[in-house]
Amino acid sequence: MKVDAIAAPLGAKISGVDLRRIDETDFIAINELFVKHHVLVFPGQDLLPEDQMAFAARWGKLLRHPYAGMEQYPDIIELRNVGKARDINQHWHSDMTYNPAPPKLTMLYALEVPDIGGDTAFSNQILAYKALSDGLRSVVDGLTAEHSAAGLAAVYKADGAEAPRAVHPVVRTHDESGDRALYVCRAFTNKFVGWRKQESDALLEYLYEHSIQPEFQARHHWQKGDVVMWDNRCLLHYAVHDHAEDQPRRIHRVQVEGLVPA
């Protein structure tokens, strides 16, 4: 197992590993690297859907998306290049924060990738929290926020009134490392509990912009066979749609359920 850091803010590439043949000692080492680096890249994998699900399930129960999933493998979402105008992932977000227990990790496996472009960008929310002033940290430490999938439901033509909703702390504590991280995202966070929407919008807009500063970021350029997993407890991510509409991009996504944020 060879480990190479990807960037200073986050990420490591793990070479020399076949994810179909991971024993318990390997898993413990990989999880330690995951908690340390937040994003792990495993190049050159050759996985069936069952292989990907089995590897992800070592971290816990697979978490199904409320509106998407393959017919044969409902725990897997197949992401395809549907054109920039129809791409719903063109924003910074953490996956499924509208769930009471959102995913601890997301794992993607690349089956087809464009010749150029199509990177995934990540932003470290532990660093974003640390970079806040002492005064602002004292404010956000005491806040909770409402998260909703109503907007996502509209994309899938589902009933927004029935969309999942949850309330989470604005700053959550990582359940393995103990690090504190900002936990808001433009996609799903509506307002602070006990605040008016107008009051919330001003501070949330500042946090959204603060949380994606370049010094918190790293990007992954996809190659066919890459498996990439990231920590939703402390990262935002962004699917960069800078490739042509006729370029192939087919990726299988699974999530693993986490704990209720605290």
Catalytic sites, residue numbers: 93, 95, 237, 253
In sequence order, which residues have a C-beta less than 8 Å from that of residue 74 and are 6 or more positions away?
A: 64
- CA dist., res. 111 & res. 227, Å (int): 10
Of the candidates 15, 62, 66, 55, the residue with the CA atom closest to the CA atom of residue 31: 55
CA distance 220 to 151: 27
Structure token pair of residue 77:
């979402």
Q: Is 72 helix (H, G, I), strand (E, B) or coil?
A: coil
| Residue 26: its H or E element | helix 24-37
Q: How many CB atoms lie within 10 A of CB 162?
A: 11
Quote the CA–CA distance of 180 and 125 in Å, as a whole number: 8
- Measured in degrees and rounded to the nearest 5, phi and psi for residue 168 equal -135, 155
240 class by beta-carbon count within 10 Å (0-12 exposed, 13-18 middle, 19+ buried): middle
